[in-house]
Amino acid sequence: MVGSGWQGQALGLAAALLWLSCVAGLAFAVRRRWPQQREWSRKTAHIGAGPVVLIAWGMGLERGLCITAAALVTLLALINHRHRLLLAIEDVQRESYGTVAYGASITLLLIAFWPQHSAAAAAGVLVMALGDGLAGLLGPWIRSPLWQVLGERRSLGGTAVMALASLAALLLVAALAPAASPGPPGLLLIALLATACEQLAWRGIDNLSVPLLVGALWRELS
């Protein structure tokens, strides 16, 4: 951890902004290379944004700074959703508030858990980033049974990817904070419940419900 001095906070903030800039650049590159695959650039940003919580955690960014930054990003996501300024992040062929909900969930996790229970916040963010993100990228390429929940298409392949990637994200956070983590049965339970919750994805609401559920369960079971 860098520390609480202003130099450390500035360094941590710079590292987080550099990471997000690289993620945005990669998303735009994906958009230019595969313009017909609109979800790819969006999911690139979705997955890439998640690890910024690890940077904030590792560099000891303070509560007020983290919450302010997350709230600002959520506001920018809302503006982008309404005006489609950055198509690489928001241009999809369906009505979804997922990007805005994602930012809102991170903000709420930080309000609820940062910094006393940073692992809970990190778990919630990373399960959504990796689990949902990889499910959205890989699920359509896996031939498997399909079904619909509230008009949203789900698949066995995508659901399996969600479960496995969520468990991997939880194991990563547990390895970083073993003293503040649920045991293996708890991690498995959280992954399964997150996967079940992700089935209810009408207009991207899972981007809000899944991280908050994971954070709350992590705190309760730790």
Q: Are 87 and 39 in contact (CB under 8 A)?
A: no
Q: What secondary structure letter does DSSP report for 203?
A: G
The answer to whether residue 43 sits within a structural domain is yes
**Number of domains present in the structure of the chain:** 1
The answer to whether residue 16 sits within a structural domain is yes
Strand stretches in the chain, DSSP E: 146-149, 152-155
Rounded-to-integer distance, Cα 203 and Cα 97, Å: 6
The answer to whether residue 1 sits within a structural domain is no
pLDDT at res. 194:
97
The answer to whether residue 21 sits within a structural domain is yes
Domain limits for position 128 = 6-221
> Each residue of 85-94: pLDDT tens digit?
666 566 555 5
The answer to whether residue 160 sits within a structural domain is yes
Q: Are 41 and 9 in contact (CB under 8 A)?
A: no
The answer to whether residue 74 sits within a structural domain is yes
Counting every residue written for the chain, the total comes to 222
Average pLDDT over residues 117-135: 96
One-letter amino acid at 119 equals A
> Each residue of 162-216: pLDDT tens digit?
999 999 999 999 999 999 999 999 999 999 999 999 999 888 899 999 999 999 9
Q: Which among 158, 156, 180, 160 has a CA at the least distance from the CA of 170?
A: 180
